[in-house]
Structure 1
Amino acid sequence: MRRSVAGGEIDDDPGRVDVEAVWRYLSEEAYWERWRDRGVVERQVRGAWRVVGAYDGATGRQVGFARAVSDGESFAYLADVWVAADWRGNGLGGAIVSVMIDEGPGARFRWVLHTRDARGLYVRYGFAAATERVLERPGRG
């Protein structure tokens, strides 16, 4: 699935993902899971149930990304959502989330994510604070 947004392009083709660009963002700019080395990130991208990338419409440079882990039937976890600083504020983040959770094979799934920023973005797509039934065991690393 391809869609144009604000001079960029959203695409869910896993073969188009620039793993080096994803690694560079996650290792240099992201605040989460900075312990991962390049091999871990590459395995996570390649092993994802689904990926959605955002690309500069003129140059093809990767400017955003999200991946999902799923059982493929009813549940998915949204991870590693990012948009390059010079592309923020033009709807690209929302387009990535929309394509991932509303316009693909997981449109009817229960989705989960962890974040400490961009909560307003996720609320627009139906995310809410977890309920009293949710337990979590944080990673040990």
Structure 2
Amino acid sequence: MSRAPLDHPLSAQRAPTLADIEALADAAYAALPQRFTRLCEGLVIRVEDFPDDETLDAMDCETEFDLLGLFRGRGLTHGAHLAETGEQPNMIWLYRRPIIDYWADSEDTLETIVTHVLVHEIGHHFGLTDADMEEIERRAE
């Protein structure tokens, strides 16, 4: 099992904070190839504890732990570059508590999980569907 060492800032001594998850997301984003990040100009990435009730309802979630991340906006293939005045920027949310809950039952590191969720949501920014990304992952294996 791949866990942070006890002297690591993300040790079992305390739950990772919003700032910890944000730092992991920032590091994951910084490690992405520039050819991808160049296409993410204006994309806002936020970390929240949980999705709001409206989001949970819209996504047909059974519990507040069902959603690890979310992309909202107009994907690049749907004209994100043609945003209208007053339109919200494309946004990605990472949900701390569901991510931590998932991590607790996983053998992956928290860094790996945060990176996976972030990249998945950026895939939606690029206009990919969940099925598209599952196919890409399947072929990569």
**TM-score, normalisation: structure 1:** 0.28
Normalized per residue, the structure richer in strand is 1
Q: Which has the larger radius of gyration?
A: 2
Q: Which has the higher contact order (CA 8 A, sep 6+)?
A: 2
**TM-score, normalisation: structure 2:** 0.28
